[in-house]
Amino acid sequence: MSTPDLNLLTTLDVLLAEGSVARAAQRLRLSPSAMSRALARLRETTGDPLLVRAGRGLVPTPRALELRERVSQLVQDAQAVLRPVELLDLQQLERTFTLRTSDGFVENFGPRLLARIGAEAPGVQLRFVQKPDKDSTPLREGSVDLDTGVVGAATSPELHTRALFRDRFIGVVRMGHALSQGEITPARYAAGRHVLVSRRGHDLGPVAEALAALGLKRQIVAIVGGLSAALSLARATDLVATVPERHSGNLGGAMFSFPLPFSTPEITVALLWHPRMNADPAHRWLRECVRDVCTEPLGTPSA
């Protein structure tokens, strides 16, 4: 069976609405002969005469009357699909967005982001999920709308990325810890007992490399998968946590933070999303919200 010409739907819609070949031709800017040929094709396709002569005019057949409302709705739906998206009404928007990010990101940027979302689009819900790895499959499949992280060799080249901010590693200990007083040297830092934040459980990163260049190595006594766990352990013990500064800005007065006494490269935290969401107005608005929140100086109150 051959595939029907869907362009005929528009022609049929106008013919049934006008009930006249001449008026339908004028409305579609076709010649009367071209419209007559289109009607003949429609009759052949539907297996029904659709419009029959009655005096000087044409009247619809029962089949045409049956199709009229359905065809009109189909044409309207098709036009809506192909029409550019209208201005987004944030106050009426009801949608759940899933963000895959670290617990440190949620703790430090989540409150301001939620305040922004709640003020502009009260019907929007944010769902934060943990980021166990850099696999881009959830973005590709649509189970995750936005991802945050450091773009690296493992990042899929098909993803769109946008830098949010640059960050650096700092050391964090409880108040009263030995490192909270006096000069912190590389040797003093390395001599402490450390908690490592690592999804893979390996001390293979810029801090370990910088220490190795100085002939030093940390004593790792605990390995955790997230910043919150590392900071909790550092707060309750004598362990030293090494964490990104902007991901741990809400330390409060219970913790003492210090710049690392050696040079490590800064990291660029980026926003990642799949290309199929790039033109979606609501998704684009959410990306702007995340960007604005993340580019605010540390300590900036939410709106």
CB within 8 Å of 268: residues ≥ 6 apart: 150, 151, 163, 165, 166, 167
Q: Model confidence over 227-241: pLDDT tens digits?
A: 888 999 999 999 999
Q: What is the mean pLDDT of residues 243-251?
A: 77
Confidence (pLDDT) at 137: 81
Sequence ranges of the chain with CATH classification 3.40.190.10:
91-160+274-295, 169-265
- For 169-265, CATH gives 3.40.190.10
Confidence (pLDDT) at 95: 94
Give the three-class secondary structure for 183: coil
pLDDT of residue 52 exceeding 50, the answer is: yes
Confidence (pLDDT) at 226: 84
Most trustworthy range by pLDDT among 149-163, 186-200, 242-256: 186-200
Reported as a pLDDT band with limits 50, 70 and 90, residue 303 is very low
The CATH superfamily holding the domain 91-160+274-295 is Periplasmic binding protein-like II (3.40.190.10)
CA separation for the pair 47, 41 (Å, rounded): 10
pLDDT of residue 208 exceeding 50, the answer is: yes
Q: Work out whether the CA dihedral 76, 79, 85, 87 comes out positive or negative.
A: negative
CB distance 16 to 23 below 8 Å:
no
Q: Kindly state the percentage of the chain with pLDDT values over 90.
A: 45
Tokens at residue 201, please? 């459980």
Give the three-class secondary structure for 6: coil
CB distance 72 to 9 below 8 Å:
no
Mean pLDDT of the chain, nearest integer: 87
CB within 8 Å of 287: residues ≥ 6 apart: 146, 162, 271, 273
Entry field: residues in the chain: 303
CB within 8 Å of 119: residues ≥ 6 apart: 303
**3 state SS for 197-248:** ECCCCCCCCHHHHHHHHCCCCCEEEEEECCHHHHHHHHHHCCCEEEEECHHH
CA separation for the pair 180, 234 (Å, rounded): 12
Burial of 191 (0-12, 13-18, 19+ CB in 10 A): middle
Q: Checking phi first, is residue 293 left (phi over 0); if not, alpha (psi -120 to 50) or beta?
A: alpha
- For 7-82, CATH gives 1.10.10.10
pLDDT of residue 172 exceeding 80, the answer is: yes
Q: Model confidence over 102-147: pLDDT tens digits?
A: 888 888 899 999 999 999 999 999 999 987 777 778 888 888 999 9
Tokens at residue 86, please? 């209208």
Residue 118, phi then psi, degrees to nearest 5: -65, -35
CB distance 173 to 237 below 8 Å:
no
Sequence ranges of the chain with CATH classification 1.10.10.10:
7-82
Q: What is the mean pLDDT of residues 59-74?
A: 86
CB distance 35 to 24 below 8 Å:
yes
CA separation for the pair 85, 191 (Å, rounded): 60
